[in-house]
Amino acid sequence: MNKPKLIYSSAVASSLAIVFVAAITIVAELQVPLKDWLKSLSGHHWVSKGILSFLLYVVAVFVMYAVTKNVDRKKTKGALWVTIITTILGSLALLTFFTGHHLGWY
């Protein structure tokens, strides 16, 4: 097992999963058919988001691990920083969206 490649793949997959959760959550709040579709998958939109995001993470780890050729320290470090920034921005995006939604900004 190439351990740096696994870390890199997991970091990229985490970023993708976080962007997916933030994006599908916001879009589904604004587009009722999407939220209904998520509900129809498992019986609850949050459960569906959890399953889909974890599946996306697992698949992305395998795909990134398979397709990435060389992982050096710059790539590994960069992917970890992107994951950290994505997490912070994703959290702030959700907080801002639900605050605006509650206050009737849109």
Partner 1 sequence: MLEILLSKPVLIGLHLAFAIIGIDAFLWLLGEIKNDSWRKARLYWSAIVGVTAFILSWLSGGYYYVKYYGGLVKPIIQKGLAPWAHNIIMETKEHIFLFIIPLALTALFITFLDKEEFEKLNIKWVSMILVVLIVGLGLVIGAMGFTISAAARWGVQ
Closest distance to partner 1 from the beta carbon of 33 (Å): 19
Contact between 96 and 24 (Cβ < 8 Å) = no
Closest distance to partner 1 from the beta carbon of 101 (Å): 7
Closest distance to partner 1 from the beta carbon of 1 (Å): 8
Binding site for partner 1 (CB under 8 A): 1, 3-4, 6-7, 10-11, 13-14, 17-18, 21-22, 25, 43-44, 46-47, 49-50, 53-54, 57, 73, 76-77, 80-81, 83-84, 87-88, 90-91, 94-95, 98-99, 101-102
Half-sphere exposure of residue 42: CA atoms within 13 angstroms, side-chain side: 11
Contact between 15 and 56 (Cβ < 8 Å) = no
Angle at 49 (CA atoms; ends 47, 53), nearest 5 degrees? 120
